[in-house]
Chains A and B, each alone.
Chain A
């Protein structure tokens, strides 16, 4: 066989293999979405939002209204704590601490903190807020989620604000504005879309977090507007119900998994659309 033919055949084999890899990988990933959608829709009913979980093996699976409420409360509390702190911190790194070595170190640290395994954060919060207070509580769960949000928001804020051209700030200084005014009414306004996208992505991330909640807010079946004591969440409910031997609880877990997936995908897509709007406008 001629050398050129050999090379052509190798080329063909290698490229076919890469097409096969792509087909396999994409098929697997879409299979996951497919199963979550099909099994989730099968077990989905409006009762999911209004009822409490039924005891196992009844005809009616019941619902997860307490978990929806708990998840909402935990996420809201985490966002209220993590987002302002993150935006202000990111602002400092991008503006006042622009030239400081210490601040470069802080942003490196944020990159590290973003990928600390979430279960480690769970154990840390357990030692700080659960053990000393004698029991699982929602405040600890919200704190764990806030710790996950914080570095993400700091970094996106910093990145979005450094992208704003310096001349824009100079223009505002020339009008006699003090630095804090320049930041709040010029730089923030110019980068608001990017920062907001970062916040949405951070929320999407904590909406699916389970490990840090296992040792902090744990789970309960009570429907109440309160973060003291154990607080139920969708993700921990999925974890416990899916591992149970009862058909009806497993289908409840699929329904919850469906809702969590939809929420996470929705937040991600919304964030992308916002960024696109910004770059066009």
Chain B
């Protein structure tokens, strides 16, 4: 009997140590990133580093404003484009799709969100970028390009499609399957009795969707979009191919630009000294941003139940 108790204790301790490993790794990551990025913050000052748009190799002066702005802008554009399409697709899948197709389309969507981001990136570079430049860019130039004041922002150079715009679009495609799956699940969880009551009052399908189902699932859908946002913020490979990694003022959405991840992917391996520390600081910022976004999504998803 004693031997069994001893074995049980050993097993318990081994398991406990394994479960604590994740805490050690995450804490270790935070500490390492902090320590490694300290020289950069000391050299440039924390707020100055965040707000400076300098990126000067010869004088070794760096600021994070452009990469951060690029990451925020591409993510925002991706969400703006992807969100309505995801909601539309989810409505189709829950309300209109023939029963037979529902399961297979749902599975296909989940499989598609498992495809590695480098595949999306490669497709973006060789298929989407040229297509957008040839077909979509002239269209936007003709329409939005004529707007007063901000028009010039929609007229840009021909770069083979390597641009902030293409990056946002490939991110939009990448987060689409995930956002659709989450919205679909949320819509499916609406109690049928709510929808039936709405139909009984004579509401049309769209009225039921927009006035009953959507308000009911608002938090879950927003939570899903927040997780998708986290993915887009930290996405590297799909972005690295098509953003162009150009450190210059953004004059048009069709110009190449930089994001936090594109700078890291392109410049980390050659970096040393203060530059390396700057890149660690960017990694730290990304780590913290992701943490914040996830806490937010947890709150949104958790407050429903």
Known: A111-B294, A264-B114. A8 touches B269 (CB 8 A): no
Residue of A22, A28, A31, A257 near B88 (CB, 8 A) is A22
**B49-91 vs A: 1/0 string, CB under 8 Å?**
0000000000000000000000000000000000011111101
Q: Does B171 contact A (CB under 8 A)?
A: no
Q: Does B204 contact A (CB under 8 A)?
A: yes
Find the residue from B85, B115, B264, B279 having the highest chain A CB count within 10 A.
B115
Flag if A123 contacts B116 (CB, 8 Å): no
Flag if A116 contacts B287 (CB, 8 Å): yes
Known: A26-B105, A210-B116. A121 touches B20 (CB 8 A): no
Residue of A103, A120, A178 near B234 (CB, 8 A) is A120
Which residues of A133-158 have CB atoms within 8 Å of chain B's CB atoms? 147, 150-151, 154
Flag if B19 contacts A21 (CB, 8 Å): no
Q: Does A215 contact B (CB under 8 A)?
A: yes
Known: A113-B22, A218-B269. A242 touches B122 (CB 8 A): yes
Q: Does B107 contact A (CB under 8 A)?
A: yes
A187 to B233: give the CA distance in the assembly, Å: 39
Residues on A with C-beta less than 8 A from B265 are: 119, 211, 214
Residue of B126, B173, B205 near A11 (CB, 8 A) is B205
Which residues of B4-33 have CB atoms within 8 Å of chain A's CB atoms? 4-5, 7-8, 11-12, 14-16, 18-23, 25-26, 28-29, 32-33
Residues on B with C-beta less than 8 A from A118 are: 234, 236
Residue of A91, A124, A207 near B32 (CB, 8 A) is A124
Number of residues on chain B facing chain A (CB within 8 A): 87
A147 to B108: give the CA distance in the assembly, Å: 28
Flag if B7 contacts A178 (CB, 8 Å): yes
Flag if A123 contacts B122 (CB, 8 Å): no
Residues on B with C-beta less than 8 A from A124 are: 28-29, 32-33, 283
Closest A-chain residue to B127, C-beta based? Answer: A35
Residues on B with C-beta less than 8 A from A96 are: 12, 15-16
Q: Does B123 contact A (CB under 8 A)?
A: yes
**B221-248 vs A: 1/0 string, CB under 8 Å?**
0000001001101111100110000000
Number of residues on chain A facing chain B (CB within 8 A): 92
A interface majority secondary structure? helix
Flag if A183 contacts B11 (CB, 8 Å): yes
Find the residue from B14, B114, B120 having the highest chain A CB count within 10 A.
B114
The 6 closest A-B pairs by CB, nearest first: A208-B116, A117-B234, A21-B88, A92-B15, A89-B19, A22-B92
- Please, could you name 30 A-B residue pairs with CB atoms under 8 Å apart, sorted by A? A11-B205, A14-B209, A22-B88, A22-B89, A25-B88, A26-B108, A29-B108, A29-B177, A32-B123, A85-B21, A89-B22, A95-B15, A106-B23, A112-B26, A112-B291, A118-B236, A127-B32, A150-B22, A154-B22, A178-B7, A207-B116, A209-B116, A210-B118, A210-B236, A242-B125, A261-B116, A264-B115, A265-B111, A268-B111, A272-B107
B contact residues vs A (CB 8 Å cutoff):
4-5, 7-8, 11-12, 14-16, 18-23, 25-26, 28-29, 32-33, 36, 84-89, 91-93, 95-97, 105, 107-112, 114-120, 122-123, 125-127, 173, 176-177, 180, 204-207, 209-210, 227, 230-231, 233-237, 240-241, 261, 264-265, 268-269, 279-280, 283, 286-287, 290-291, 294, 298
A contact residues vs B (CB 8 Å cutoff):
7-8, 10-11, 14-15, 17-22, 24-26, 28-29, 31-33, 35-36, 39, 84-86, 88-93, 95-97, 103, 106, 108-113, 115-121, 123-124, 126-128, 147, 150-151, 154, 178-181, 183-184, 201, 204-205, 207-211, 214-215, 218, 235, 238-239, 242-243, 250, 253-254, 257, 260-261, 264-265, 268-269, 272
